[in-house]
Chains A and B, each alone.
Chain A
Amino acid sequence: MDWLLLLEKGFWFGLAAVGFAILFNVPVRTLLSVFIMGALGGIIKNLLLQFEINVIIASFAGAVLIGFISISFAHNKHAPPPIFAIPAVIPMVPGIFAYRMMLGLISLAGNINQAAYSQVLSDTIHNGLKVMFILMSLATGVAIPMLITRKDSAKEIRFRKVKDNF
């Protein structure tokens, strides 16, 4: 396993997350947290991918991690969790798969011979389903902490060990 490559990927994930955070105009005090969360989520996703785990599950794991970190950052930096979580998961959106799905759909609509048709059709469905499931797992992943604690606001969630620190 190439740790340096993994760290480099983490850096790029973090940078992409910060770019989106700026685009969404997050408060300045949250930028560093967004970078850290984006990087950690991306590292987990790539680590799992190296163990040949399905990209959908890997993305889900990254998003769950981001969801949990967003709760503790929300307490520290006094901002709602989605402000950290949404920019941080966006780098995991499967842009390349979405692009290939689109290409496939276009060639299916054009003039295409029967032999190529079934191959393109199966590729397109494969890519499209991946996009759909990855998007769903990202959205579910960041919501998991709120779902399992059954709270309406992150302010009511306290992790036992850090209870007295703030």
Chain B
Amino acid sequence: MPDNQQNKDIKELGATLLEIAMLLMVSGASTGRIRNTIDRVSTSFSYTANMFISQRTIMLSMYNEENECIFNSLKRTSQHGINFTTLSGISRMSWSILEEKWTVKKINEELNRLCALPHYPRIVTLLLTGLAGAAFCRLAGGALLDMTVVFAGTMAGLFVKQEATKLNFNPYLCVYLAALTSSLIAGSLVKFNPGTDHEFAFATSVLFLIPGVPLINAFSDMIDGNLQNGLIRGMNGFIISFSIALGLLTSMATYHF
């Protein structure tokens, strides 16, 4: 029964393509990049893939050379979490698929390998993000004392964010809690050392939370003509910024300044 076998292969390929698109979306790829990658992979199997890409759902239809629709399916995305290692791995893989004519089985194995790749150790992430916060503070004009406090505040804030994410809190609430922690720590400097101006420390302690990837992707989607996705991503970035501001506001109210 060759027909059945072929149907099974097509279904497998379709599921794999959806998985690739979903992984790209949650790892922080722009819409154009997702479309290009899926086109590249489906071309290698000489099918045409048409997609509808949105933040939470991805829809894919595949057509064969006679322009018959052979696969049509939807996939919900998992929770978004920026991971550039996945992005780079999938990009390299898509070129190998095209050049070396990989089979679906090999693609799935590679996808599994990419998903299992470790993150940086938690302590490294915390320390370097803390250093980044201190660097921000220095750039804004802070002194050594400000930098130290921002370092501690950023580390504590990121720690709280990671723990809150683990506990499955709403993502915006995680950002709020992180901003609150960081600004409470940095704000103590303003409160208890009033002689000098510590505004920089207070303002830069929450900068590690800025939604850089959503905002930049929003803009690249917009100039690509994916206006709808661009607006949605921009809105997401805006709400994250709002949560940060709310966190700052809460600690300002706490300290009365």
Which residues of chain A have a CB within 8 Å of any CB of chain B? 9, 12-13, 15-27, 30, 42, 78-80, 82-83, 86-87, 89-91, 93, 95-96, 98-100, 102, 106, 135-136, 138-140, 142-143, 147, 152-153, 155
Q: Are A19 and B133 also in contact (CB < 8 A) when A26-B85, A90-B210, A102-B248 are?
A: yes
- Contact in complex: B82, A139 (CB < 8 Å): no
Bound Cα distance from A70 to B216, whole angstroms: 15
Partner of A96, one of B133, B204, B213, B218: B204
Additional A-B contacts beyond A13-B139, A16-B136, A23-B82 (15; CB < 8 A) = A12-B138, A18-B131, A19-B132, A20-B212, A24-B84, A42-B139, A79-B84, A80-B87, A82-B30, A91-B136, A95-B136, A95-B203, A96-B200, A106-B249, A152-B36
Bound Cα distance from A98 to B95, whole angstroms: 40
Q: Is B115's CB within 8 Å of the partner chain A?
A: no
Which residues in B have their C-beta under 8 angstroms from that of A18? 128, 131-132
Within 8 A of A (CB), among B100-154: 119-120, 124-125, 128-136, 138-140
Which residues in A have their C-beta under 8 angstroms from that of B158? 23
Within 8 A of A (CB), among B142-192: 158
Q: Is B223's CB within 8 Å of the partner chain A?
A: yes
Q: Which residue of A lies closest to B30 (CB)?
A: A82
- Contact in complex: B139, A86 (CB < 8 Å): no
- Contact in complex: A95, B132 (CB < 8 Å): no
Do most interface residues of chain A lie in helix, strand or loop, or is the interface mixed? helix
Bound Cα distance from A143 to B140, whole angstroms: 26
Interface residue total, chain B, C-beta cutoff 8 A: 52
Q: Which residue of B lies closest to A99 (CB)?
A: B203
- Contact in complex: A86, B124 (CB < 8 Å): no
- Contact in complex: A16, B245 (CB < 8 Å): no
Partner of B88, one of A20, A26, A155: A26
Bound Cα distance from A135 to B216, whole angstroms: 8
What would 21 A/B residue contacts be, using CB atoms closer than 8 Å? A9-B139, A13-B139, A15-B135, A16-B132, A18-B128, A19-B128, A20-B129, A22-B125, A23-B132, A24-B28, A42-B139, A83-B84, A86-B84, A91-B132, A93-B212, A95-B210, A96-B200, A100-B203, A106-B249, A140-B219, A140-B223
Bound Cα distance from A23 to B128, whole angstroms: 8
Bound Cα distance from A66 to B219, whole angstroms: 17
Bound Cα distance from A136 to B89, whole angstroms: 28
Which residues in B have their C-beta under 8 angstroms from that of A100? 203
Partner of B140, one of A25, A79, A96: A96
Partner of B132, one of A20, A79, A80, A106: A20
